[in-house]
Structures are given as C-alpha cells and as structure tokens.
Amino acid sequence: MSNDIPPPLPPYGVRDPGDAWVQGPDGEKFWGRFGAAGLLVWHRSLGVLLQHRVGWSHFGGTWGLPGGARKAGESAVDGALREAAEEATVPPELLRILHTSVLDLGYWSYTTVVAEAIEEFEPVIADAESAELRWVLVDEVTELSLHPGFAAAWPELRELLD
C-alpha cells in the first residue's frame, strides 16, 4: 500500500475562463469570452466532417463544425485544432491548413479554420457535445439542418473547396 496522497481534484464546476457567454449590444449571446473557432475538415473523396449537435447545446439538433471557445492567448488555429481533437478525435498530424475565415463583430469573433485531411480517418465522438459525427459530401451539406452561423458561412467556405 502506498503512502502517496493523490493530488486534490479541481473544485466541481471549475472551467476555463474562456468558457463563458459574450453578450452583444442587441442582447444576442455568443460562446467564448476570447472568441471561438471551428475546424472545417475536408477530404477530397469523403467530403467535409460535420458534427450533429446534441439537443441541449446552443442551436442543438443542427449540424456544424467541431469547435468552441478559445482559451486566453490561444490562436484561432490552435483553438480549432484542440476543439476538434477534444470533440471528434481529429488527428492534427493528418491535416494541412488551407485557409482561415473570420467573422469579427468587434466584441466577439469566430474563426473557421479550413483544413484538408491528407489521409482518411474515422472521427470518434469524444465528449457530450456531439450526437453524431459524419463525413458529408460537399454537394449534400445544405440538405442538412445547419447551425445558423455555419449555414451563413457555408457558401463562401464552399467556394474555398473548389
């Protein structure tokens, strides 16, 4: 039997300081005190990797990108890669970053990081935020019920994949 005492667990409910809502001047809320980022993973034959958001999440039941709140001092690319690995086990070593697209509202921003998967991989749900992960052919994306922010950005993002 060891006399080592395990380190104390962090207090229940302790979160990263970036995990908070930001409220705009019109009252609209956005997730991520330091902004947010998502990863649009594209594979030439599989399509794009989409996340079906669980019902309790913001815009639950819609399809969007793995992503979320950025940490203090974290770049958008690093945040998008971290979130996609945490939510969908996306392997960053199999990606080639192609482009970033920023929605900047002045008080909050969202960066979409577009990356090409250079090898096939099977995403795996790795947290409670996803109901499903699916590769969707580019021409079939709009057939899904999309997260409003992703739906608004999709036409421009789609052009980047041509």
DSSP state of 8: P
Q: Number of structural domains, the chain?
A: 1
Question: pTM value?
Answer: 0.88
Residue 11 lies in a domain: no
Residue 13 lies in a domain: no
Domain that holds residue 108: 21-160
Q: How sure is the predictor about 103, in pLDDT bands with cuts at 50, 70 and 90?
A: very high
Q: What CATH number does the domain containing 129 carry?
A: 3.90.79.10
Q: Which two tokens stand for residue 162?
A: 């041509």
Residue 120 lies in a domain: yes
* Better-scored residue on pLDDT, 5 or 35: 35
Residue 145 lies in a domain: yes
Residue 3 lies in a domain: no
Residue 47 lies in a domain: yes
Q: How sure is the predictor about 162, in pLDDT bands with cuts at 50, 70 and 90?
A: confident
C-alpha distances in angstroms, 153 versus 70, 128, 160?
19, 25, 11
Q: Which two tokens stand for residue 154?
A: 């999709």
Q: Which residues are CB-neighbours of 143 under 8 A, at least 6 positions away?
A: none
Residue 33 lies in a domain: yes
For residue 69, the surrounding DSSP H or E stretch is strand 67-69
The predicted-structure confidence for 104-144, as pLDDT tens digits, reads as follows: 999 999 999 999 999 999 999 999 989 999 999 999 999 99
62 and 148 in contact (C-beta within 8 Å)?
yes
Residue 10 lies in a domain: no
